């Protein structure tokens, strides 16, 4: 099974969408392997968004992601990265398909409610940034036989 990193951003937490978002992933069949509410320190935000350093939106992005609590989670399942990305929808909520998380709750690209890893490699990197190995749980779920062949 594959793991991915997903974060409900400060706007999603402030809008009280955490439960709804987690519920969507669980109903789809993804399993929670790690979950925590946290305030991201500036140093971690800068490392997380390091690929954007030097770009005009880097500082505002870091300011925003550190402006309030986030919910960090690790989801596990078959093709977890692509499944979560599909469920989130396009980065720009105005281009996100109706019914996706961003299509349903987002109005502005700068306040698009959720972040998710875009590849298995970035998932591994982001999981390691936000979670220690002992914070992640592997477990058998009897329901899996009804989700996967």
**Residue 84's CB: how many other CB atoms inside 10 A?**
26
Report the pLDDT value the prediction gives residue 3, as an integer from 0 to 100: 98
- Our CA dihedral for 22, 23, 29, 33, rounded to 10 degrees, sits at 30
Active site residues: 115
Q: Quick one: DSSP state of residue 23?
A: H
The residue among 67, 123, 116, 61 whose CA lies nearest residue 89 is: 116
Whether domain 2-138 has CATH 3.30.70.141 = yes
The per-residue pLDDT string of the chain (149 residues; one tens digit each, 9 = 90 and over) reads 999 999 999 999 999 999 999 999 999 999 999 999 999 999 999 999 988 898 888 999 999 999 999 999 999 999 999 999 999 999 999 999 999 999 999 999 889 999 999 999 999 999 999 999 999 999 999 989 999 98
Report the pLDDT value the prediction gives residue 149, as an integer from 0 to 100: 87
Q: Which residues are annotated as a binding site for ATP?
A: 9, 57, 85, 91, 102, 112
Domain residue extents for the chain:
2-138
For residues 26 and 127, what is the distance between their CA atoms, to the nearest angstrom? 19
Q: How far apart are the first and last CA of the chain?
A: 13
């Amino acid at each position: 099974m594959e793991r991915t990193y997903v974060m409900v951003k400060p706007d999603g937490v402030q809008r009280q969408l955490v439960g709804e978002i987690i519920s969507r992933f669980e109903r789809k069949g993804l399993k929670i392997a790690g979950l925590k509410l946290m305030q991201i320190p500036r140093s971690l935000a800068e490392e997380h968004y390091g690929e954007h350093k030097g770009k005009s939106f880097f500082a505002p992005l870091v300011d925003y992601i550190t402006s309030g609590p986030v919910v960090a989670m690790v989801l596990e399942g078959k093709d977890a990265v692509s499944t979560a990305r599909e469920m989130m929808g396009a980065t720009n909520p105005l281009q996100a398909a109706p019914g996706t998380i961003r299509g349903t709750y987002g109005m502005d690209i700068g306040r698009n409610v959720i972040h998710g890893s875009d590849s298995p490699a970035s998932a591994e990197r982001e999981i390691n940034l936000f979670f220690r190995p002992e914070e992640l749980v592997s477990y058998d779920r009897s329901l899996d036989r009804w989700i996967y062949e």
